[in-house]
């Protein structure tokens, strides 16, 4: 069969060639380090997610399906197919809204590793005897490409500008790239994997609107990405214009955006954009993070005095967690609380921190937290540069925070690796995973160049006390 004229997609071809050819030795040291932190972060926050209520619901679905025991469900000794492990594990890493972020500006971020890392690990387990450097290379390349796919959109991916949720839509492509690299596909194989990912890519904001089903989309993206890579590995062809074609990624999912496609390959193989990944300081929607930081900066001056009103001033990007304000002040579910600036501010004011414990039933019913959330007003304007919080006290005193422009976890204000390790240790303890095994898993990551088989990580992190 003669090729069609439309088969010539130079950007897709260049991307595929780069992905197939790039190896661990080609990655600069900062890219390697960022990949290791992304793996550690997902393992830590994925273990956190195993405790979320609907995790068990998804496990019941998986247990109904037959298949070879290829890959582990994180935090357990249970094994299933790579695709189903990716479904469960992908959701776990997003369950508490405590994932990584690529910050597009000071308040808006885009999650990447929550789809990439579980896909790479499940594929590595299915293939077997995949080394630590091979795993980290797949993670680095897939995160780099996802960020490259996002950049041409500017802020065109945010709610109100787009209906497609870029985290999950682009996450399908990222998961496919990570798995395809683990399976050692050549350039044509990567083209097919991207095309087959395009056939399945989806993601929307309806979950945030209704307060249900958000994290499950991450699992679906991981499952579909692994399936795309596996189909490509056995020779299944996919469309070649998956990114820039007339019906490709941008035309289908982001039709309002004017995209300069050449930006995808700008300095490809020279700049590895995974170095810009950050890790959330708090388990909630990222636009609330500068609000929490501002509250914590101001709280020290309260000295036990009662608060009369809480005013948040910032950019219009706060709207996803501030509107409609009456609903955001009284979240009716865990997901609604995860995307509520009033809830985040209330918890930070009262308790001096914000953690997954603030999603417990007792916390959500707490009358004091409900009262404080009801005092929050959010004021937004396009030209705002940074976020400020003022606390008006019952005695008339007004406390004003400094302007927050780089919240905790932002690459400008990064979390130390030791703090990420501590998140993993605490999550492992809650699950009853042996402390020695959790610490051994972290030690293997620290010495990743010596790790011979990635399956060791999942085995150690499934080692629960009987």
The tens digit of pLDDT for each residue in 152-169 reads 998 888 877 888 999 999
322-348: per-residue pLDDT in tens? 999 999 999 999 999 999 999 999 999
Residue 275: its pLDDT value, please?
96
Is 409 within the bounds of a domain? no
pLDDT of residue 253: 95
Residues 215 and 314 in one domain: no
DSSP-based helix, strand, coil % in the chain, nearest 5: 55, 10, 35
Closest CA to 166 of 127, 218, 224: 218
Q: Give a yes or no: residue 35 inside a domain.
A: yes
Let me know whether 140 and 277 are in one domain. Answer: yes
Question: What's the whole-model pTM score?
Answer: 0.94
pLDDT at position 117, please? 98
Specify the CATH number for the domain of residue 254: 1.10.4100.10
> Which residues, including other chains, have CB under 8 Å from residue 452's CB and lie 6 or more apart?
129, 131, 132
Same domain, 250 and 321: no
pLDDT digits (tens, 9 = 90+) for 412-456: 899 999 999 999 999 999 999 999 999 999 999 999 999 999 999
> Which range of residues forms the domain containing residue 296?
286-400
Residue 413 lies in a domain: no
Low-confidence stretches of the chain (pLDDT beneath 50): 1-5
Whichever domain contains 320, its CATH number is: 3.30.1330.120
Judging by beta carbons within 10 Å of its beta carbon (0-12, 13-18, 19+), is residue 365 exposed, middle or buried? exposed
Tell me, yes or no, whether 465 lies in a domain.
no
Specify whether 394 is located in the same domain as 366.
Answer: yes
Residue 184 structure tokens: 């050692």
State the pLDDT at residue 209.
Answer: 82
Confidence at residue 406, expressed as pLDDT on a 0 to 100 scale: 85
Phi and psi of 352, rounded to 5°?
75, 15
Do 306 and 171 belong to one domain?
A: no
- Is the Cβ–Cβ distance between 173 and 223 less than 8 Å? no
User: Can you give the pLDDT at residue 7?
Assistant: 65
pLDDT of residue 1: 31
Residue 273 has a pLDDT of: 97
Number of domains into which the chain is organized: 2
Q: Which helix (H) or strand (E) holds 313?
A: strand 307-314
């Amino acid at each position: 069969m003669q090729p069609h004229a439309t088969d010539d997609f130079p950007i897709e071809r260049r991307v595929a060639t780069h992905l197939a050819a790039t190896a661990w030795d080609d990655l600069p040291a900062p890219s390697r380090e960022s990949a290791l932190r992304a793996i550690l972060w997902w393992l830590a926050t994925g273990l956190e997610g195993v405790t979320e209520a609907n995790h068990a619901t998804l496990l019941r679905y998986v247990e109904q399906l037959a298949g070879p025991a290829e890959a582990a469900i994180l935090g357990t000794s249970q094994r299933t197919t790579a695709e189903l492990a990716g479904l469960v594990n992908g959701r776990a890493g997003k369950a508490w809204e405590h994932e990584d972020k690529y910050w597009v500006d000071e308040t808006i971020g885009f999650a990447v590793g929550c789809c990439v890392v579980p896909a790479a690990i499940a594929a590595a387990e299915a293939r077997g005897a995949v080394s630590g450097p091979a795993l980290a290379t797949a993670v680095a390349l897939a995160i780099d490409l996802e960020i490259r796919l996002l950049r041409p959109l500017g802020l065109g991916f945010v709610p109100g500008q787009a209906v497609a949720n870029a985290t999950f839509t682009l996450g399908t492509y990222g998961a496919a790239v990570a798995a395809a690299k683990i399976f050692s596909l050549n350039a044509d194989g990567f083209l097919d994997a991207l095309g087959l990912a395009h056939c399945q890519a989806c993601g929307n904001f309806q979950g945030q609107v209704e307060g249900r089903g958000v994290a499950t989309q991450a699992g679906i993206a991981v499952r579909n990405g692994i399936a795309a890579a596996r189909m490509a590995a056995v020779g299944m062809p996919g469309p070649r214009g998956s990114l820039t074609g007339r019906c490709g990624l941008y035309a289908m999912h982001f039709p309002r955006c004017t995209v300069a496609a050449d930006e995808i390959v700008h300095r490809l193989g020279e700049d590895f954009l995974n170095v810009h990944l950050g890790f959330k300081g708090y388990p909630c929607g990222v636009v609330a993070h500068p609000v929490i930081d501002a509250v914590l900066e101001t709280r020290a001056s309260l000295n036990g005095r009662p608060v009369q009103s809480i005013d948040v001033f910032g950019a219009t990007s706060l709207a996803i967690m501030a509107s409609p304000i009456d609903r955001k002040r009284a979240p009716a579910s865990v997901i609604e609380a995860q995307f509520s600036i009033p809830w985040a501010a209330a918890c930070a004011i009262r308790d001096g921190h914000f953690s997954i414990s603030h999603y417990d039933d007792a916390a959500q019913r707490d009358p004091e937290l409900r009262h404080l959330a009801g005092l929050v007003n959010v004021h937004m304007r396009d030209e705002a540069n940074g976020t400020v919080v003022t606390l008006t006290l019952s005695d008339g005193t007004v406390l004003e925070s400094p302007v927050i422009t780089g919240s905790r976890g932002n690459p400008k204000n990064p979390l130390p690796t030791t703090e990420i390790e501590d998140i993993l240790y605490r999550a492992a303890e809650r699950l009853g995973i042996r402390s020695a095994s959790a610490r051994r898993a972290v030690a293997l990551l620290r010495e990743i160049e010596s790790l011979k088989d990635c399956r060791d990580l999942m085995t150690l992190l499934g080692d629960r006390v009987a």
